[in-house]
Chains A and B, each alone.
Chain A
Amino acid sequence: MTDEFETQGDRRRGKDRRSDTNRRSGRDRRSGTERRTSKDRRAGWGKVDQERLRGALTAAATVAHLFSQPLTIVIGHVDLLLSKVEDGATRKKLEIIKEQLQSLSMTLQDLRSLRQYKTVDLDGLVLLDIALRKVRKLD
């Protein structure tokens, strides 16, 4: 009888199951790049925090950059519609859309202003602390 992984035959034949070529050697395990060196450990967590900040800044800049153009186009068209539309109900809806877009715009501004790695825990949901406090309006 053979099993799916053909291990039982090996065991019966007394073959060393640890000889698998995919297996990492003792040296590999010690040289893992994710492993902190003793020098790192002596330096405390500062280096890790710096890396976290760098990652967060890169992600924040990417989001700010990629979201800016579509947001410009949507806000711009809403503004143009508001300058033309006279119907009260439509204007009110457009103003609500603009308010929400301004809120997104402020979040992008907060992402651009990110200078330190700080998180906020919303009952288990850990997020970057970028002024998640309230919805604000532009001047």
Chain B
Amino acid sequence: MRDAKKTEILLWDKHSTERELVEEMLTNLGFKVTAVSNEHDCLREFSSRKYDLVIFDQGLPDLDVRRFVDELAEIDQMTPIAMMATLAVEFYQERFGDSNIDFLIVKPFELVQLRRLVEEAVELAERLK
């Protein structure tokens, strides 16, 4: 895997406690993280420079997941997108299987699972290049 310090992750989570935690976990793993609290900032950040992975939280009542990931894909289709989820994987496969979401990470997760997610996302990005 490439140098962790070079891996840049964009994290969008509306809930501050969770956002700060996941940001700290990713930083602890050696990744460079930009954390934002709303959709607008997320899209603006994503447009401003190249990221290796976008992680966002699905548990927002007013979020149109499909539209959001389509907007990300319009900006850059090659960046992997991961969604933090809470229900059974089958539920999301049925709803978003054909969308631009590349990875699901089901809560609650641990450091080791978060590291695995980033590693797999970076591998995917390398393959897509």
* Residues of A bordering B, CB below 8 Å: 61, 64-65, 68-69, 71-77, 79-80, 83, 101, 105, 108, 112-113, 138
B25 surroundings in chain A (CB, below 8 A): 76, 79-80
Cβ contact within 8 Å between B28 and A80: yes
Write out, one digit per residue, whether chain B residues 3-35 have a CB within 8 A of any chain A CB (1) or not (0).
000000000000101100110110010000000
19 contacts between A and B (CB under 8 A): A64-B86, A65-B87, A68-B86, A68-B107, A69-B18, A71-B107, A72-B18, A72-B21, A72-B109, A73-B21, A75-B108, A76-B21, A76-B25, A76-B108, A76-B109, A76-B111, A79-B110, A80-B24, A83-B111
What is the CB-to-nearest-CB distance from A74 to chain B, in angstroms, rounded to a whole number?
Answer: 8
Given contacts A69-B59, A79-B25, A80-B25, contact A108 B108 (CB under 8 A): yes
Does B88 lie at the interface of the complex (its beta carbon under 8 Å from any beta carbon of A)? yes
Complex interface: chain A residues within 8 A of B111 (CB): 76, 79-80, 83
Tell me the residues in window 101-129 of chain B with beta carbons closer than 8 Å to chain A beta carbons. Answer: 106-111
Q: Complex formed: what's the CA distance from A65 to B22 in Å?
A: 18
- With A68-B108, A69-B107, A71-B108 in contact, do A77 and B21 touch (Cβ < 8 Å)? yes
| Residues B88 and A75 in contact, CB atoms below 8 Å apart | no
CB B29 to nearest CB in A, in angstroms, measures 9
8 residue pairs, one from A and one from B, having the closest CB atoms: A68-B107, A71-B108, A68-B86, A72-B108, A112-B88, A72-B107, A79-B111, A65-B86
Question: Which listed residue, A64, A68, A74, A76, touches B22 by the CB 8 Å rule?
Answer: A76
Q: Is the CB of B86 within 8 A of A105?
A: no
Q: How far is the CA of A75 from the CA of B106 in the complex (A)?
A: 13
With A and B bound together, what is the CA distance between A71 and B18 in angstroms?
10
Q: How far is the CA of A108 from the CA of B87 in the complex (A)?
A: 9
**A residues less than 8 Å from B106 (CB atoms):** 68, 112
The minimal Cβ–Cβ distance linking B97 to chain A, given in whole angstroms, is 17
Contacts of A76 in B (CB 8 A): 21-22, 24-25, 108-111
Expressed in whole angstroms, the Cα–Cα distance for A114 and B65 within the complex equals 25
* Residue in chain B with minimal CB distance to A65: B86
Interface residues of B in 43-62 (CB under 8 A from A): 59
